[in-house]
Structure 1
Amino acid sequence: MGRPPNLYSFSDADLAPNLRKYILDQQTEAVKRHEVFRIAVSGGSLPKTLAKALLAPSSSGSEEDKVDFSKWEIFYADERCVPLDHEDSNHKLVREELLEKIPKEMAQPKVYPVDEKYLDDAQEMADQYEKTLVNVFAARDSVKLPLFDLILLGCGPDGHTCSLFPDHPLLREADAWVLSIADSPKPPAKRITLSLPVVLHGAKIGFVATGGGKKDILKKIFETEEGSKLPCGLVNEGAGEKVSWFCDQAATEDVSFPRRGSVI
């Protein structure tokens, strides 16, 4: 690893505005690069925090502080093999927390959910979602890995991220873009997930981890050899300074890893 990841610790009031600035900086850079902003998101508490950050009124009115959903393409870093209106669906969560709350006068992002036709076959669902990514990211040229402009992730209490779990064989997968898992230690058992190489290849990778329930795992990830081998730790190790952690003070209470100042 070159430079280490960026660890931010905010008050409750400051986390969402700083996350907004970080996301919109990536939006600006991506649109300059290729006229579109491709972002992968996971579920959990992330969509609620995302909505709080993105749907707040612009603080400055400047172009840099405007969310331009017309340029957005939203993908899922992982998804459960359930119908899109099921309580366990990440798409349902993102739809209810964010998409349905976007004001009508704003453009709507393009969203790529999984195909419900393949709910009974996790491997086929993974293959089909990978085909979707190939059509978007490799339509003109063959590429080894898709390059997301931003991947936004959560951190589980066991250090898992996406649906990549500690000590699972999927962590060793080097070639596939999208993987299936049939034995998730956290229900539902059948899921699909971006592979670790795809996550590490992201232009920027942001974690959102809040609450006192995260402080033990964050301390482990940032301060122990064992933690560096957990999925979140592998992202830190493999992507270094491309990674930024957006945490509150409760989550970082016992972490001695150096904090960065605010993004704003």
Structure 2
Amino acid sequence: MASSCFLRQILFSSLPTNLPSRSDPLSPPFPKNLTCSAPSTASLSISSIEILTNSRRKLSEVRSMATEKGKQEKKKVEIFDTEENLAVELAKYTADLSDKYCKEKGAFTVVVSGGSLIKSLRKLVEVGSIDWPRWHFFWVDERVVPKHHEDSNYKLAYDAFLSKVPIPPGNVYAINESLSAEAAAEDYETCLKHLVKTGVLRVSESTGFPKFDLMLLGMGPDGHVASLFPGHGLCDEKKRWVASVTDSPKPPSERITFTFPVINSSACVALVVCGSGKAEAVEAALKKTGDVPAGCVSAEEELVWFLDKPACSKL
């Protein structure tokens, strides 16, 4: 039986996007003003992107490191004078990967976290060349709260990003928040496995876990990524794709999260960190000097750290 996540995809692929919210738990309550029209803001010009790109200062390009499977991983750390410049370069990076994968395989699978990461995606809506209908949009973690709740990562992404770009609602894979945390995690994993079977998601040849094209991650001041917190047992999970959290040290306590094997099987990962309050965690993660989950993030093809100057002040 298909998961409720997949059923929601079918429902919304055939419905207009301006319908009122539904009480049916199978269908996420998309706000009434959701439209599939192109954003009205002017496209970023190539010249402006090039200027900002050339202004960035690359901290280092770490020597390729062998992964557990013997593959080579390219790891970059890039520093930007301002968060504004970081946001522009992140938009260019994401748009370039979107173009690459849409041409290669007809789709682009992208995963986001919540928090400040969504704010850093704001420049992406200004890029006029993106093939939005080919995007498939996922969350690396989510709080088990209603979608209109202020703690919802879905609401954060919808208000700041999804409502501004014409990604088909059927390609937006939100969790079923009407379930318990454990059941919601199982449902989301079932949804991912169905998308693997239908060819929407690739599978890593080396790990057997789903291989997303791009995972866009933020990091907390304690160094947590997704809902994988320092010292938590889920950091060592090796089998599950999606796990439930009922004891999050940061409220709300109930969440679902991708596990490290899924995160690290991604083709590309962008870890976006801004602010001096995260400088110590950045140092610990990059220098491997502490129990910081962000230091465990890797990618099958490329991991890029996007940092502003305050975030790298302790490097």
TM-score w.r.t. length of structure 1: 0.84
Aligned to 2:294, the other structure's residue is in SS state: helix
Give aligned pairs, total: 238
Aligned residue identity for 2:260? L
Between the aligned partners of 1:218 and 1:179, the Cα distance in structure 2 is 25
Q: Does 1:231 align with 2:293?
A: yes
Task: Give runs of aligned pairs for residues 115-194 of structure 1, distance below 5 A.
Answer: 115-118=176-179, 121-139=180-198, 143=203, 144-194=208-258
Say if 1:77 and 1:244 are closer, same or farther in 2 by CA, change over 3 A: same
Q: Which has the higher contact order (CA 8 A, sep 6+)?
A: 1
1:132 CA displacement: 1.0
Q: Which amino acid aligns with 2:306?
A: F
Q: Would you say 1:249 and 2:309 are equivalent positions?
A: yes
| Alignment equivalent of 2:126, drawn from 56, 59, 70 | 56
Distance in structure 1 (CA, Å) of the matches to 2:302 and 2:261: 14
Which residue of 2 is the match for residue 18 of structure 1? 89
Q: Tell me what 2:268 maps to.
A: 204
How far apart, CA to CA, are the structure 2 residues paired with 1:193 and 1:73? 18
Tell me the residue number matched to 2:152: 89
Q: Which letter maps to 1:77?
A: V
Cα deviations by residue, 1:17-73 (Å, 9 ceiling, x for unpaired) = 2101110121122113320000110000111111x2212255xxxxxxx12211111
For structure 1, the residue ranges without an aligned partner over 5 or more in a row are 59-65, 256-264
**Is the contact made by 1:176 and 1:195 (CA closer than 8 Å) also made in structure 2?**
yes
Name the aligned partner's letter for residue 191 of structure 1.
R
Contact 1:5 1:240 in 2 (8 A): no
- C-alpha offsets along residues 71-95 of structure 1, whole Å, 9 cap, x if unaligned? 1110000000101111110000000
Unaligned ranges ≥5, structure 2? 1-64, 67-72
Compute the displacement of 1:139 (Å). Answer: 2.7
Q: Secondary structure at the match of 1:20?
A: helix
Per the alignment, residue 30 of structure 1 pairs with: 101
Match of 1:69 in 2: 132
Moved more, 139-148 or 245-254: 139-148
Matched residue, 1:5? 75
State how far apart, in whole Å, the 1-side matches of 2:303 and 2:235 are: 18
SS of structure 2 residue aligned to 1:131: helix
Matched, 1:80 2:122: no
Distance (Å, rounded) in 1 between the aligned partners of 2:265 and 2:209: 7
Letter in 1 for 2:164: K
Aligned counterparts of 1:142 and 1:14: Cα–Cα separation in 2: 32
**One-letter identity of the residue aligned with 1:111:** V
Q: What SS does the corresponding residue of 1:188 show, helix, strand or coil?
A: coil
Partner Cα separation in structure 2 for residue 7 and residue 128 of structure 1 = 35
**SS in structure 2 of the partner of residue 39 of structure 1:** strand
**Separation in 2 of the partners of 1:94 and 1:199?**
19
Call closer, same or farther: CA 1:20–1:239 in 2, change over 3 Å: same
Once superposed, what is the RMSD of the aligned Cα atoms? 2.0
What code does the residue aligned with 1:145 have? F
Identity of aligned residues (%): 39
SS at match of 2:102: helix
Partner Cα separation in structure 1 for residue 301 and residue 98 of structure 2: 18
CA displacement 1:103-162 (0-9 Å, x = unmatched): xxx5546211111331xx111000000111111123359953111000000111111000
Radius of gyration: which is bigger? 2
Instruction: Find the aligned partners of 2:127 and 2:133 in 1 and give their Cα distance.
Output: 17
Equivalent residues of 2:87, 2:123 under 8 A apart? yes
Distance in 2, Cα, partners of 1:232 & 1:107: 29
Aligned-partner residue type, residue 37 of structure 1: F
Query: 8 Å contact 1:78–1:163 — kept in the other structure?
Result: yes
1:11 CA displacement: 2.1
